[in-house]
Amino acid sequence: MVTLKRLKIKGFRAYMEDKEFIFDNPVILLFGDNGTGKSSTLNAIEWCLFGNDCIGAKSAIRERIDWEIPNRNLGSSADIYVELELEDENTDAYKILRRWISKTKDELRITLLDGQSLEGQNAGEKLAQLLKSSFRDFLTMVYQHQEVIRAILTQEPRERNDAIDRLLGLSDYRNILTGIETGKLQTKQKKMCGDFDSFTREIDVALRTQEGNLKDKRGKASKKGLKENQLSEKGALEIASKVKGELQKLGLESGLSVVDLQVPEQWTDLYEFQEIADGEIKRFRSEMPDVKKQEDLFKRRGEITALKQQYQQTEKDYNRVKSKFDVKEKESDKLRREVRELENKIKEKEKQLSEASAKGAVITKALGYLQLEGIDKNVCPVCETEKPDLLDHVEREWTEKYEKLVGTVEDELDAFKNRQNEINTWFEEYNRIKRSFEDGYRRVVEVRKEIGKALGREITTEDDPDVILNNALDGVNKGLEVLEEAVKSKQERLDGISSLMGKMQLIADILSSEEKKRIVEQIQESSEYLRMEELRDEMAILVDDVDKIKIAISEASYEAAEQKVAAAGEAIDNYFRRIANHPAITKIEFSVSVDSRTARNSYEFKDQNGKYLTPTLNQGGLNALALSIFLGMTSLKGENQPFGFVMLDDPSQSSGSGYKEKLVEVLDEVLDKRMVILSSTDKELQELVLSKITKAKTKYTFSDWIPERGPEVKKE
């Protein structure tokens, strides 16, 4: 067990100047008010032993997150260090010096008994060998830090069990179990298996797809009359050869050139062969001579039919206009004669009217004169002879002779002129029809010429184009009938070749699907796949081995814990009953079991009735229990308890006098096994320690801390 002999501090936290502490008695009492440097003294021991592990987030102590090692009042070049003299179980002495360099760096030196000095990594290794503990272990086993010790009871079970394991010196087991857990081997194995399963599922889907394709294609092949033995490379190549032969034969028969089709040696080249052969079939279909002839005759038939329709329509139009014109023409001679007669009659009537109009004008003038006022109505105004009743006579003559005559002639003349207009209108219609007739005739002549041109002969007026065209059509149709048979026969042969090509392609597709399927199938025979299988086995063996190790460690940890619980249980029970002095608790049962889920130790504290303790304890009771466990563990001995001292930082916080008295009693017993370094502000506790503890004591009084100097420390 390591014990403390001397401590020297300079520039560390509350310290400015160098101070020395001699641990020359079993009890070291650090007494003074708050803020005078007591905690810095305990912290200096921690820092010297564990360096950066006890500061910042690594320490897992909230208040140390922003911890500063150098005293703020020192300059940047100040020498900051803590020096600690230790002695091991063989009373070999070691001087540990840790010097602060920067926030992230410090310098460690260990001077051995023989004066040999170790630095850097060697010094670190030597220190670890000496302490056999991590900072976390130190916190739970040695340093009764309020925050940490309370965690033993008030934090969640996992952390509590972790802290008690450390108190019992079982950290190594727990650390290995944590390491195994952190490794998450089983999770990784599951993921590995999951990934492998996903991979095989994908292969399975690919295979099923290919199998589906194959089934479908084989079904089609069967419907096309292909036999099972033809569904092979040989079968496909035989068909290709047949295609080539058929095309060459047809080409020769039709007088068409054929490209040099090469039958492939393997089915994978069939697609190229097929592309070329397809092109040839298309070319044959369009370039075959009979087909060309057939196309020409179809064209000829179309032309003749169009001419025939054109001719028939033109002829029909012409005949319709002609019949109209013939009717008009017959009527026109008679009407021409009537026109001439009408012209004479109009002339004659106009003459009559002119004469009657002249005589009538004289009479109307005479009447007008005689009707004037003052004119003798019985005297002739020309000869001035007396003519009795002359005005009456003239009026009678006008009414009875001339007025009637003029009216009659005018009516007759109007009738003649009306008739003349009617005939003129008739002739306008006549002329229009005549023009249509003439146009129709011209069209007939033109169509005949076109027919003549199309048929290569002259069509005279004596010819019947309709019959001539019909004859020509008959000739074309007969030619087509002959060609149709020939073309149909060749197209059927080409269809047959196409059908062969379809079969060949189907076989090639089947072979392609089989090839793809085979490639996928071969995956599981590949060395990589087999290696994956081996890896799965190796991983399973590893997980199994690690699991066995975990069980073995768990068992070892449990056995050790059980022994220690048995050894310390009595002391814990004793200490708790005395410190807490709880009227309802007469016994504490401290037990350990293995958590089947985590394979770790699980600790329980029950009262004399077997009821769990922690839910019924108040804060003071919990503190007492925590302190009892901490102190109870000091009764343990052996390699797992490497420290010969404990450090208590203000253990009487908020406690009554009875509690303090009992605490001091217990400490007196603890001192049989360990040195106690006790830091306190409590005068009552100080007096109790000085007056009741039976072991020798050294007291350091802390006072008058000032920034420029640090604490004033007096040894008593």
Partner 1 sequence: MRTEIYEQLKKLHDRYGPQEFGKLCQKFLAIGFQLAGYDHIVERGVQGVDVDAAGEKGEKYTIEVKTTVKKSVNFEQKDVDGLQKKKVDGYLGVLAVLRLDRFANWVFAKVETIKPGSLVIDSLRPYRLSELEREICPFIDEAINQHFEGTMRESQKYLDTVLRQKGVEVRK
Residues that bind partner 1 (CB under 8 A): 193, 200, 203-204, 207, 517, 521, 524-525, 533-534, 536-537, 539-541, 543-545
Scored b (16 or more CB within 10 A) or e, 636-666 reads beeebbbbbbbbbbbbbeebeeebbbbbbeb
Q: How far is the CB of 637 from partner 1 (least distance, A)?
A: 39
Task: Say which residue the tokens 């290569």 belong to.
Answer: 456
Q: What is the DSSP code (8-state) at residue 612?
A: B
Q: How far is the CB of 184 from partner 1 (least distance, A)?
A: 17
Maximum CA pair distance of the chain? Answer: 207
The span from the CA of 354 to the CA of 360, in Å, is 10
Cβ proximity to partner 1, 362 vs 540, nearer residue: 540
C-alpha radius of gyration, the chain, whole number: 69
The span from the CA of 223 to the CA of 216, in Å, is 11
Q: How far is the CB of 551 from partner 1 (least distance, A)?
A: 12
The span from the CA of 491 to the CA of 498, in Å, is 10
Q: Work out the burial of residue 581: count CB atoms within 10 Å of its CB; fewer than 13 is exposed, 13-18 middle, 19 or more buried.
A: middle
Q: How far is the CB of 532 from partner 1 (least distance, A)?
A: 11
The span from the CA of 59 to the CA of 57, in Å, is 5
Q: How far is the CB of 202 from partner 1 (least distance, A)?
A: 11
Q: How far is the CB of 583 from partner 1 (least distance, A)?
A: 51
Cβ proximity to partner 1, 362 vs 541, nearer residue: 541
Cβ proximity to partner 1, 363 vs 539, nearer residue: 539
Task: Say which residue the tokens 């003439």 belong to.
Answer: 438
Cβ proximity to partner 1, 482 vs 523, nearer residue: 523
Cβ proximity to partner 1, 391 vs 543, nearer residue: 543
Q: How far is the CB of 538 from partner 1 (least distance, A)?
A: 9
Q: How far is the CB of 530 from partner 1 (least distance, A)?
A: 10
Question: Residue 611: which of 580, 583, 589 has the closest Cα?
Answer: 589
Cα 303 to its chain centre, rounded Å, is: 64
Question: Residue 123: which of 113, 107, 133, 109 has the closest Cα?
Answer: 109
Q: How far is the CB of 217 from partner 1 (least distance, A)?
A: 18
Q: How far is the CB of 541 from partner 1 (least distance, A)?
A: 4
Give the alpha-carbon dihedral of 702, 706, 709, 714, to 10 degrees: -20
Is the distance from CB of 236 to CB of 244 less than 8 angstroms?
no
What's the sign of the alpha-carbon dihedral 71, 73, 79, 82? negative
Q: How far is the CB of 208 from partner 1 (least distance, A)?
A: 9
The alpha helices in 224-288, defined as continuous H runs, are: 233-254, 270-287
The span from the CA of 361 to the CA of 344, in Å, is 25
- Residue 349, amino acid: K
Cβ proximity to partner 1, 546 vs 690, nearer residue: 546
Is the distance from CB of 667 to CB of 627 less than 8 angstroms?
no
Neighbouring CB atoms inside 10 A of 101's CB total 10
Neighbouring CB atoms inside 10 A of 713's CB total 22
The span from the CA of 213 to the CA of 219, in Å, is 10
The span from the CA of 227 to the CA of 218, in Å, is 10
The span from the CA of 261 to the CA of 283, in Å, is 14
Cβ proximity to partner 1, 90 vs 187, nearer residue: 187
Cβ proximity to partner 1, 192 vs 500, nearer residue: 192
Q: How far is the CB of 152 from partner 1 (least distance, A)?
A: 38
Cβ proximity to partner 1, 252 vs 551, nearer residue: 551
What's the sign of the alpha-carbon dihedral 635, 638, 642, 645? positive
Q: How far is the CB of 231 from partner 1 (least distance, A)?
A: 17
Q: How far is the CB of 219 from partner 1 (least distance, A)?
A: 18
> What residues form DSSP beta bridges with 479?
none
- Cβ contacts of 556 within 8 Å, gap of 6 or more: 173
Q: How far is the CB of 535 from partner 1 (least distance, A)?
A: 10
Cα 400 to its chain centre, rounded Å, is: 121
Question: Residue 454: which of 477, 441, 478, 471 has the closest Cα?
Answer: 471
Q: How far is the CB of 223 from partner 1 (least distance, A)?
A: 24
The span from the CA of 209 to the CA of 507, in Å, is 18
Cβ proximity to partner 1, 455 vs 539, nearer residue: 539
Q: How far is the CB of 203 from partner 1 (least distance, A)?
A: 7
Cβ proximity to partner 1, 293 vs 536, nearer residue: 536
Cβ proximity to partner 1, 272 vs 544, nearer residue: 544
Which 3 state secondary structure label does DSSP give 435? Answer: helix
Cβ proximity to partner 1, 166 vs 550, nearer residue: 550
Cβ proximity to partner 1, 327 vs 552, nearer residue: 552
Task: Say which residue the tokens 């991983």 belong to.
Answer: 539
Cβ proximity to partner 1, 176 vs 543, nearer residue: 543
Cβ proximity to partner 1, 490 vs 517, nearer residue: 517
Strand pairing category for 117-119 and 105-111: antiparallel
The span from the CA of 353 to the CA of 31, in Å, is 171
Cβ proximity to partner 1, 371 vs 522, nearer residue: 522
- Per the structure block, which two tokens stand in for 195? 């990934």
The span from the CA of 455 to the CA of 469, in Å, is 8
